[in-house]
Amino acid sequence: MINKKDDIMNDLNILDSSLHEDREEMGRMIDELILHKPVSKIDPLFEKKLRRKIAEKIKMIKRTDAERSRPAVFFLAHKRRIGIAAAIAAAAVPAVLFFSSPGRETVPVAYLGKPGDIYSTDAREYSGMASPMKDVSSKQKYTGPGAGSMRSKSEPAAVMSYGKPGERDYSPGKPLGDGKIAYRMEREEIAVSGSRILMKNEMALKEKKKSADADDAVDAEGRNKADALSGDFNTEQYSAIYENEFLKAGDNPLSTFSIDVDTASYSNMRRFLNSGILPPSDSIRIEELINYFTYDYPLPEKGLPFSVTTEAGKAPWNKGNILVRIALKGMEIPAKELPPSNLVFLIDVSGSMVSENKLGLIKKSFAMLVKELTPDSRIAIVVYAGATGLVLPSTPGSDREAIFNAINRLQAGGPTAGSAGITLAYKVAMDNFIKGGNNRIILATDGDFNIGQSSDAELVRLIEEKRGTGIFLTVLGFGMGNYKDSKLEMLADKGNGNYAYIDSIQEAEKVMSHDIRSTLFTIAKDVKIQVEFNPALVESYRLIGYENRIMKKEDFNDDKKDAGEMGSGHTVTAFYEIVPAGNSKKGTAHEPLKYQGSSIKEEAYRSNELMTIKLRYKDPNGGTSRLITRGIPNIINTGLSRDFTFASAVAEFGMILRNSKYRGTAGYRQVMNLAGMSMGQDRHGYRAEFLKLVKKARELDKRNQ
């Protein structure tokens, strides 16, 4: 079998280094193919996937080559990965870079550290991942992010290598042993001349084109085999969801949760299905699937920010159980009464955002939003990559030309300092704060923060610190492959905000145009729901979805506890599945207690109330909550509304995708029947699209037919 290592390195050497995304992607592939698996055991299909990706990247390089100016090249290496880092405009980044003339053999020096560190230009010791190399000979100051040097072959021992902290680097050609590898870039593979990278080896490019066709065979679970094999390189992250279970009403009479108006899970699910892949179960948040759609709920009474209505019927997937819908409808603020807006667009322009479905789609999305804003709005643009910057100071919405020009000039490159961008965005928003206005940051990113404060705990502390400023946060997710859903959901939850995922220009239009008022203008914050069940009528109950929004019962009356925000015209839907008293089944409740019994008031037996709903909320600029209480009669409707039926179909679909143990008789055919009979007006075609997605999922899912 031929040595795949040499072939793969040849592919990498002809990649232009201005694409940070390529560095990350190829680094992961090399790490898996070379360091973790013996060369002789590389799966042919796996290699085919790799070569297809390389071919795609090379095509992208050729298309974008003319757009680059003054690129600089540097290389990064660490204990587990060799990757080609993004080329950064020399005028924008203070980096020390030495270039050889065309044709001169060069060897890259690898260095990871921070400005001011000392690194050597001769033999070096490797001191660990993401730390500077120890000085053992001549010294040189490191003056910029990722700075390294290109030196001639005649100079001693300048190669990249893998090793343990404290080990010496290795000379070219010297055996490394223990699976460690050192690479040298030959002059015919890459040469650097002034500010332009010359790509060579066209024969290799032709070879990649021949193998660019992917194997589209679908496995038993409806997933593309090539994608499944390369799944280790997919670094998307989703928080684990532990499905809500049935709780005995006598022991757990209170159920408390925060409302959720996010929609990201639905559009992300659609992205997977349109790609011919079933979505990961933890990416499915059922409440976000349900709340993606708007429903025809009654408007609130005068003086209240939202209405509260309920409806109950038989659970479609378990006819012996009751399905209760709790529905909220926010008041709609007329356009002429909308408060002025102070918006800060916080845009990720790091190298991982270079693709068209990331920064390209972000530009189009924000252009749509600008067209919807009133002339008295103010807009600032903050960007972040390796460093942060104010691209556009706060500018009146009437000066659209200046805003559009600033958006169109955005380009991607460099690592991702998300926390620094968030800090600057809040500062700009505070500097231009409008009292009584709509003060909001709109963050657009793939969530792949990799420098600065990047852990979940650090970002939570940062967002919670800023939350009390009266500035709200909207989070917009973009892209795939390295998408960090868990991080973005957390930022929106902790930052008095909402969260959407934009996978297409159509979704951009929905979020930035159709739903703009509910997205941007908050009518109530920290909205919590607490339900008290009547144990005389309810054996047990289960909240469907909202797993990430569950609160302690004590949190309901604690005004310091953060909860969800509701926008102008927003609708919120939540379902409880209830096991009626006397209809319990094995496994739905625990065994009888030995030391105490249940004590149900006589009033409960006399009452015909199934449950009582309590809601707490604060005004957008308030600090003290208000209380709304509603009793829900034990009335099971036979003529259910279209909205109830459609929303229950969406909930059932979510349970199928999650392979819920509580799905009962749920099936794709039943979902399509329920949704098909309850389409309603469907002004924008979202419900019709839902039916198409159900059909796609059914074709892919061999488990559930």
User: Which tens digits make up the pLDDT trace of 155-184?
Assistant: 332 233 333 333 333 333 333 333 333 333
| CA-to-CA separations, 199 to 29, 87, 99, 205, 631, in angstroms, rounded | 21, 14, 15, 10, 72
User: What's the mean pLDDT in 605-613?
Assistant: 90
* pLDDT, tens digit (0-9, with 9 covering 90-100), for 297-352: 999 998 899 999 999 999 999 999 999 999 999 999 988 888 899 999 999 998 88
Which of 80 and 607 is assigned the larger pLDDT?
607
Asked if 547 and 244 touch (Cβ cutoff 8 Å), the reply is: yes
* pLDDT, tens digit (0-9, with 9 covering 90-100), for 497-509: 899 999 999 999 9
Which of 434 and 73 is assigned the larger pLDDT?
434
DSSP for 398-459, please give it: T-HHHHHHHHHT----S---HHHHHHHHHHHHHHT--TTSEEEEEEEE-----SSS-SHHHH
Q: Which two tokens stand for residue 606?
A: 């006399």
* pLDDT, tens digit (0-9, with 9 covering 90-100), for 522-576: 999 999 999 999 999 999 999 999 999 999 999 999 999 999 999 999 999 999 9
- Nearest-angstrom CA–CA distance, 445 and 441: 13
**Given the DSSP bridges, would you call strands 124-125 and 609-618 parallel, antiparallel or unpaired?**
unpaired
Which of 137 and 421 is assigned the larger pLDDT?
421
DSSP code at position 18: T
- The partner residues of 575 in beta bridges, in order of sequence, read 325, 544
DSSP code at position 550: B
Q: Where in the chain is the domain with CATH 2.60.40.1230?
A: 247-333+523-593+609-700
Q: What angle do CA 239, 241, 243 make, to 5 degrees?
A: 175
Q: How confident is the model at residue 663, as a pLDDT? A: 95
Asked if 118 and 140 touch (Cβ cutoff 8 Å), the reply is: yes
Does the pLDDT of residue 462 top 50, yes or no?
Answer: yes
* pLDDT, tens digit (0-9, with 9 covering 90-100), for 89-101: 333 333 322 222 3
The answer to which of 61-65, 354-358, 393-397, 458-462 has the lowest mean pLDDT is: 61-65
Q: Which CATH class is domain 247-333+523-593+609-700?
A: mainly beta
What band does 452 get if pLDDT is binned at 50, 70 and 90?
Answer: low
The answer to which of 48-57, 353-362, 571-580, 647-656 has the lowest mean pLDDT is: 48-57
* pLDDT, tens digit (0-9, with 9 covering 90-100), for 255-286: 999 998 999 999 999 999 999 999 999 999 99
Q: How confident is the model at residue 584, as a pLDDT? A: 60
Asked if 503 and 271 touch (Cβ cutoff 8 Å), the reply is: yes
Q: Where in the chain is the domain with CATH 3.40.50.410?
A: 335-520
Q: How confident is the model at residue 268, as a pLDDT? A: 97
The CATH number fitting domain 335-520, selected from 3.40.50.1980, 3.40.50.410, 3.90.550.10, 3.40.50.1820: 3.40.50.410
Q: Which amino acid makes up residue 566?
A: M
Does the pLDDT of residue 18 top 90, yes or no?
Answer: no
User: What's the mean pLDDT in 405-432?
Assistant: 86
Q: How confident is the model at residue 596, as a pLDDT? A: 72
